Amino acid sequence: MFKVRIEKLRKKITQLGLDAFLVMAPENRRYLSGFTGSSGVLLITKNQNFLLTDFRYIDQAKIEAPDFQVIRYDGSLVETIKNILERLFIETLGFEEDFITYKQYRELREGIPKIKIFPEAGLVEKIRMIKDQEEIATIARAAKVADEAFNYILGKIRPGLTEIEIALELEFFMRSQGASSTSFSTIVASGARSALPHGVASEKLIEKGDFVTLDFGCIYQGYCSDMTRTVVIGEPDRKQREVYQVVLEAQILALENIKAGMSCQEIDALSRTYIAEKGYGQYFGHGLGHGVGLAVHEHPSLSPRDNTELVPNMVVTVEPGIYLPGWGGVRIEDLVVVEEAGLKNLTDSPKDLIVI
Ligand SMILES: [Mn+2]
């Protein structure tokens, strides 16, 4: 599995005319090597794979990343890289421009002046967009834990609890099901706060009449899940029903039409146009969705600005929303696998407006 991934990257490196490539992004490091530690870089050359890490991770790296020569560095990472590059007569080195600090960049330039270095963006990320069956099974498991957490929390939400207390219950439940952590800061946004698309749980009390938006997910064996449901406390008024219905129909429209061959822009436009036709266009200000995998936000992005073509086994969210400042908001989010003729929905929680 890792060999296949490395070969895909190696092909790209060769096409770019590079002798070697430095991988610094934590998710890319894990994806290519299997190494789960928090510190280290990969150096992939035309025919060798190196994993450079420090004392704390040497044994772990040897076990987790058998396809790599594990090299320990104690002082300067750049010095260690330099030694390898000189020994192998490497002349051109690519690096990930989104995952290097200015200091590291300066040290590379100044420490290895004879080597030409080239910034690259998204080389490994583009490979990561299309998941293998094992990855999909793991993401499905992470999504199931989130579904079960939603079902559990429905029995707990009541007026008088704080958003933080609800978030804690969700998180405790997911951890108890084998999740190693949440995939991002749990969003519990109630009442007027539900108009904040990323309203991380606060000390606000849940009150009668509130919309409560729950956006959460977990990390299970390294892979993320992400889902959102909005529930209402007490009987909804007309406007709440209307806004909820528009978001739900916009989401279903996208879900019913997604299939391989469409572009991310096209699928985003389906929901966006629908919401605009209903008069709420200016209140849906974010993209329709995003890729999910080792990272909770990854390529591609279902947005007006991404023309990537959907390909089978991409895993993306579909999450339209309407946010009315001072009033509240609704978002509904599922995690789906793109297939040749449609999709497989990994999120199974009910979507009709739940009244608590
Ligand atoms: Mn999301």
pLDDT band per the 50, 70, 90 thresholds, residue 65: very high
What's the 207 CA to ligand 1 centre distance in angstroms?
25
Shared domain for 181 and 80, answered yes or no, is: no
Shared domain for 70 and 122, answered yes or no, is: yes
Average of per-residue pLDDT across 179-186: 98
Query: DSSP of 123-164, one letter per residue?
Result: HHHHHHTBPPHHHHHHHHHHHHHHHHHHHHHHTT--TT-BHH
What's the 324 CA to ligand 1 centre distance in angstroms?
19
Share of the chain above pLDDT 90, in %: 95
What's the 226 CA to ligand 1 centre distance in angstroms?
5
What's the 204 CA to ligand 1 centre distance in angstroms?
23
What's the 215 CA to ligand 1 centre distance in angstroms?
8
pLDDT for the residue numbered 303: 98
What's the 227 CA to ligand 1 centre distance in angstroms?
6
Q: Which residues contact 118 (CB under 8 A, 6 or more apart)?
A: 16, 18, 92, 93, 94, 95
Against a cut of 0.75, is the pTM above it?
Answer: yes
Q: Of 102, 127, 152, which residue sits at a domain end?
A: 127
What's the 216 CA to ligand 1 centre distance in angstroms?
8
Average of per-residue pLDDT across 248-266: 98
What residue numbers bound the domain in which 152 lies? 133-355
Q: Mean pLDDT for the chain?
A: 96
pLDDT band per the 50, 70, 90 thresholds, residue 73: very high
What's the 115 CA to ligand 1 centre distance in angstroms?
41
| Burial bucket for residue 4 (CB in 10 Å: 0-12, 13-18, 19+) | exposed
CATH, residue 261 = 3.90.230.10
pLDDT for the residue numbered 10: 97
CA 300 – CA 110 distance, rounded (Å): 35
Shared domain for 237 and 324, answered yes or no, is: yes
What's the 146 CA to ligand 1 centre distance in angstroms?
13
Q: What single DSSP character describes residue 326?
A: T
What's the 319 CA to ligand 1 centre distance in angstroms?
7
Shared domain for 337 and 207, answered yes or no, is: yes
CA 282 – CA 63 distance, rounded (Å): 52
Shared domain for 43 and 80, answered yes or no, is: yes
Residue 200 above 90 pLDDT? yes
What are the φ and ψ backbone dihedral angles of 220, each rounded to 5 degrees?
A: -125, 120
Residue 76 above 90 pLDDT? no
Shared domain for 163 and 89, answered yes or no, is: no
CATH, residue 30 = 3.40.350.10
Shared domain for 106 and 74, answered yes or no, is: yes
As given in the structure block, the two tokens for residue 199 are: 């309203």
What's the 237 CA to ligand 1 centre distance in angstroms?
27
Q: Of 81, 107, 127, which residue sits at a domain end?
A: 127
As given in the structure block, the two tokens for residue 77 are: 């990472």
Shared domain for 118 and 237, answered yes or no, is: no
> Which residues are bridge partners to 53 per DSSP?
72
Shared domain for 190 and 313, answered yes or no, is: yes
Average of per-residue pLDDT across 318-346: 98
What SS3 state is found at 242? helix
What's the 85 CA to ligand 1 centre distance in angstroms?
40
Shared domain for 38 and 158, answered yes or no, is: no
What's the 268 CA to ligand 1 centre distance in angstroms?
14
Shared domain for 263 and 224, answered yes or no, is: yes
What's the 56 CA to ligand 1 centre distance in angstroms?
34
What's the 93 CA to ligand 1 centre distance in angstroms?
35
How many domains in the chain?
2
What's the 4 CA to ligand 1 centre distance in angstroms?
29
Q: Of 127, 159, 182, which residue sits at a domain end?
A: 127
Phi-psi region of 56 (alpha: psi -120 to 50; beta: other; left: phi over 0): alpha
Q: Which residues contact 110 (CB under 8 A, 6 or more apart)?
A: none
Residue 75 above 90 pLDDT? no
Shared domain for 117 and 266, answered yes or no, is: no
